[in-house]
């Protein structure tokens, strides 16, 4: 079943999570016309990607009457009413906590079992074992949900945090193994060998030398694992209970009944997106290096 | 007495030696066990369920019925085959546009310029936004009555469109949303590939008088092929399995006419709306085989390119 071999998923040994200034091309741009075209094109791109998000933010600050008024597309009196309703209703803040706790715990647990595994799989070239872990990436999540639901409901765990955390580890673990394997592949062996010469055991060398040196890779992997877990919808849709709902499920439930409270829905959507965007702004380089892990040949 | 401490010390030493000698499996074991329990076992169970008539409650008795489910699914022209078609249409269309658009944007961002940092941040934001929230956001924008999309069309005198609520326009609209959200992923991967390219071939072709298009077509694209295929591979895995966006915008069964019902949505509905686990598992196994086949074709291409 060697369809997606780890080797092909991460060819070469591109540096991961060491966002260094790579040598950039420095050709002078040719014509003035091209320069103008380029500036216009870049503006169009930025607007195309940001305008919808901006729109969501605007709508979240409007009353529902204003949302229905085409004359008040851009000019209106902003109100925080929607946010007050959303945050006041149904313990919305507890959903924020649920999302955070599930994402945090599943990322932390995945790191604990994923980092040593990635190290071992990289150093001992355990390609087949790595393939099994990475297979998690291509399996449709729905096929895991039925057996999980059966087993966990028999253990009366459905609706609890533990089952959500376990299911989100299914998202986080392959990501962490995948990113850190390519990180360890590119890390020179010499440092560990030097530590061995100085009298450390293999495990000691890993704990005291390799691990501290891979903080960059671990940060990259954790940020991405956290984001993907925070954004995950399907597992919580089935496995969460009334008290353990995560934000995406809470938003989805907004539209399940009757007419849509657009202002409230947009405010709820902003609340779920803002934390992740703030994280993204500050960790942009890590996210980029994680997403491109192993995608290019070094 | 050293005699007393000696056995303890050697016991620790023996343990430590053992751990060091077996570190390969010791390190990998927790992750492997997790995967075996939470992934391999459910997958095997899905395979088993697909051969039974399990339905109703997960605890209900079920009978082994061999390949009857497979026959039923494969001869189902109402839901299954249209879902297969939509899955491929969604993935193919979204992927094609994302690759072309992604390449164009990556080329634009390739050479350094002022304000580069901000453009990159702008591109990253759709990618990290929560898909369900993105779905809701576009639901408002594409709302036939109050949405901005129809408002903008009116400026150009184009009649209002039903967008997500139209039977024939829903699928193109969700494809558009997928393009908006995931083109940045392609841009980021391709940009990383472009920046790691060596300059010499391009330089040589320039000196030989090749035009910009010729250099792109015959130098950059061939050199970028491995990266391009990785981007296609990663994007197609996720696009085939798209769930959040489709469920958030159209709900159960991909809308009342199953307009956006892909295999993933269909299988989810069979399990959790109709509780027909046997049939759902069959669809999932077939879906899984389709994904594997697609990956196999792409990796073969990749090997051809590399050799």
Q: Is the model's pLDDT at B203 over the cut of 90?
A: no
d(CA A147, CA A108): 25
Whether A27 sits inside 8 A of B111 (CB atoms) is yes
d(CA B105, CA B177): 17
Instruction: Give the mean pLDDT of B192-197.
Output: 90
Q: How far B48 CA lies from chain A's nearest CA (Å)?
A: 11
Give pLDDT, residue A4: 42
d(CA B172, CA B174): 6
Give per-residue pLDDT as tens, A51-65. 999 999 999 999 888
Q: Is the model's pLDDT at A146 over the cut of 90?
A: no
Give pLDDT, residue B6: 58
CA–CA–CA angle A177, A123, A136 (5° rounding): 25
In three-state form (DSSP H/G/I as H, E/B as E, the rest C), the secondary structure along B229-251 is HHHHHHHHHHHHCCCHHHHHHHC
Chain A residues with CB under 8 Å of B140 CB are: 55-56, 59, 67, 262, 265-266
Whether B188 sits inside 8 A of A119 (CB atoms) is no
Instruction: Give the mean pLDDT of B281-293.
Output: 92
Q: How far A38 CA lies from chain B's nearest CA (Å)?
A: 7
| DSSP structural state of residue B156 | T
Give pLDDT, residue A18: 46
| Chain B residue with minimum CA distance to A58 | B137
Whether B23 sits inside 8 A of A146 (CB atoms) is no
Give pLDDT, residue A258: 60
Outline where B196-210 has alpha helix (H).
Answer: 200-207
- Nearest partner of A153 among A238, A232, A253, A243, judged by Cα: A238
Annotate chain A with DSSP letters as a single string: --SS-HHHHS-TT---S----PPPP-PPP--HHHHHHHHHHHHHHHHHHHHHHHHHHHHHTS-HHHHT-GGGSS------HHHHHHHHGGGHHHHHHHHHHHHHHHHHHHHHHHHHHHHHHHHTT-HHHHHHHHHHHHS-THHHHHHHHHHHHHTT-TBSHHHHHHHHHHHHHHHHHHHHHHHHHTS-SHHHHHHHHTT--HHHHIIIIIHHHTHHHHHHHHHHHHHHHHH--HHHHHHB-TTT--HHHHHHHHTTSSS--HHHHHHHHHHHHHHHHHHHHHTHHHHHHHHTTTTS--
Instruction: Give the mean pLDDT of B190-211.
Output: 88
Instruction: Give the mean pLDDT of A152-159.
Output: 84
Q: Are B69 and B57 in contact (CB under 8 A)?
A: no
Instruction: Give the mean pLDDT of A166-178.
Output: 92
d(CA B23, CA B17): 10
Tokens 């024939």 locate to B168
Instruction: Give the mean pLDDT of A178-198.
Output: 88
Instruction: Give the mean pLDDT of B172-187.
Output: 96
Q: Give the pLDDT band of residue B7 (cuts 50, 70, 90).
A: low
- Give the orientation angle of helix B41-49 with respect to helix A142-154, to 10 degrees: 100
Q: Give the pLDDT band of residue B112 (cuts 50, 70, 90).
A: confident
Q: Give the pLDDT band of residue B139 (cuts 50, 70, 90).
A: very high
Q: Is the model's pLDDT at A70 over the cut of 80?
A: no
Tokens 């109709």 locate to B274
- Nearest partner of A222 among A122, A134, A130, A112, judged by Cα: A112
Structure token digits, residue B305: 């390119």
Report the percent of chain B where pLDDT is more than 90: 50
Hey, of A40, A95, A146, which one would you mutate to test binding to chain B, going by the most B CBs within 10 A of its CB?
A146
Whether A121 sits inside 8 A of B28 (CB atoms) is yes
Higher pLDDT, B75 or B6: B75
Q: How far B209 CA lies from chain A's nearest CA (Å)?
A: 14
Q: How far B109 CA lies from chain A's nearest CA (Å)?
A: 8
Instruction: Give the mean pLDDT of A70-90.
Output: 81
Whether A29 sits inside 8 A of B111 (CB atoms) is yes
Instruction: Give the mean pLDDT of B169-191.
Output: 95
Range B289-296, long-range pairs (CB < 8 A, 24+ positions):
B290/B84, B290/B87, B290/B240, B290/B263, B291/A138, B291/A140, B291/B237, B291/B240, B291/B241, B292/A1, B292/A3, B292/A138, B294/B236, B294/B240, B295/A3, B295/A4, B295/A138, B295/B233, B295/B237, B296/A3
Give pLDDT, residue B25: 87
Strand partners, B64: B52
Give per-residue pLDDT as tens, A36-50. 888 899 999 999 999
Report the percent of chain A where pLDDT is more than 90: 41
Give pLDDT, residue B300: 85
Whether A70 sits inside 8 A of B146 (CB atoms) is yes
d(CA B191, CA B231): 11
- Nearest partner of A63 among A254, A273, A262, A204, judged by Cα: A262
Higher pLDDT, A72 or B79: B79
Distances (CA, A) of A20 to A15, A171, B24, B117, B299: 9, 28, 31, 14, 30
- Nearest partner of A249 among B274, B271, B133, judged by Cα: B133
| DSSP structural state of residue B166 | S
The gap between the terminal CA atoms of chain B, to the nearest Å, is 68
> Quick check: helix, strand or coil at residue B57?
coil
- φ/ψ of residue A159, rounded to 5: 100, -10
Q: Is the model's pLDDT at A103 over the cut of 90?
A: yes
């Amino acid at each position: 079943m060697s369809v997606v071999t780890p080797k092909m998923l991460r060819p070469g040994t591109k540096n991961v999570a060491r966002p260094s200034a790579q040598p950039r091309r420095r050709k002078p741009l040719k014509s003035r016309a091209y320069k103008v075209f380029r500036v216009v094109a870049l503006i169009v791109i930025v607007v195309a990607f940001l305008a919808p998000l901006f729109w969501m933010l605007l709508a979240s600050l409007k009353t529902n009457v204003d949302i229905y008024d085409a004359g008040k597309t851009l000019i209106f009196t902003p109100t925080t009413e929607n946010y007050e309703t959303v945050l006041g209703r149904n313990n919305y803040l507890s959903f924020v906590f649920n999302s955070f706790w599930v994402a945090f715990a599943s990322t932390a647990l995945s790191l604990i079992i994923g980092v040593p595994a990635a190290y071992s799989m990289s150093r001992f070239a355990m390609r087949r074992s790595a393939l099994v872990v990475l297979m998690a990436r291509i399996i449709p999540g729905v096929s895991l949900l039925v057996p999980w639901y059966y087993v966990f409901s028999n253990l009366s765990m459905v609706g609890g945090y533990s089952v959500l955390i376990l299911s989100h580890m299914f998202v986080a673990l392959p990501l962490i193994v995948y990113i850190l394997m390519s990180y360890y592949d590119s890390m020179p062996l010499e440092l560990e060998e030097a530590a061995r010469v100085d009298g450390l055991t293999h495990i000691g060398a890993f704990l005291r030398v390799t691990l501290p040196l891979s903080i960059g890779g671990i940060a990259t992997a954790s940020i991405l694992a956290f984001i993907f877990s925070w954004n995950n919808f399907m597992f919580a849709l089935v496995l969460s209970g009334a008290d353990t709902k995560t934000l995406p499920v809470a938003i989805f439930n907004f539209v399940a009944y009757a007419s849509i409270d657009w202002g409230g829905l947009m405010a709820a959507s902003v609340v779920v997106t803002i934390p992740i965007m703030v994280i993204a702004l500050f960790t942009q380089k890590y996210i980029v290096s994680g997403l491109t892990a192993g995608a290019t040949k070094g | 007495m050293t005699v007393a401490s000696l056995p303890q010390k050697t016991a620790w030493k023996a343990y430590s030696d053992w751990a060091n000698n077996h570190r390969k499996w010791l390190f990998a074991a927790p992750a492997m066990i997790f995967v075996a329990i939470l992934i391999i076992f459910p997958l095997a169970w899905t395979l088993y369920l697909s051969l039974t008539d399990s339905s109703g409650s997960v605890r209900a008795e079920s009978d082994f019925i061999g390949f009857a489910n497979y026959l039923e699914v494969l001869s189902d022209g109402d839901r299954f085959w249209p879902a297969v078609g939509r899955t491929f249409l969604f993935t193919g269309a979204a992927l094609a546009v994302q690759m072309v658009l992604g390449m164009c944007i990556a080329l634009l961002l390739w050479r350094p310029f002022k304000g580069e940092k901000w453009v990159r941040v702008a591109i990253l934001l759709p990618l990290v936004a929560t898909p369900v929230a993105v779905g809701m956001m576009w639901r408002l924008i594409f709302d036939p009555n109050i949405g901005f999309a129809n408002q903008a069309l009116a400026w150009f005198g184009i009649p209002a469109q039903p967008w997500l609520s139209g039977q024939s326009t829903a699928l193109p609209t969700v494809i558009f949303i997928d393009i908006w959200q995931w083109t940045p992923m392609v841009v980021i991967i391709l940009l990383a590939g472009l920046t790691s390219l060596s300059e010499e071939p391009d330089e040589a072709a320039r000196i030989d008088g090749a035009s910009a298009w010729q250099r792109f077509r015959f130098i950059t694209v061939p050199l970028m092929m491995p990266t391009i295929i990785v981007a296609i591979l990663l994007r197609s895995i996720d696009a085939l399995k798209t769930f959040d966006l489709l469920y958030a915008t159209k709900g159960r069964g991909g809308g009342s006419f199953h307009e956006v019902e892909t295999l993933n949505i269909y299988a989810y509905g069979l399990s959790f709306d109709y509780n027909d686990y046997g049939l759902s598992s069959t669809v999932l196994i077939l879906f899984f085989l389709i994904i594997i086949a697609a990956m196999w074709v792409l990796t073969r291409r990749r090997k051809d390119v590399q050799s």
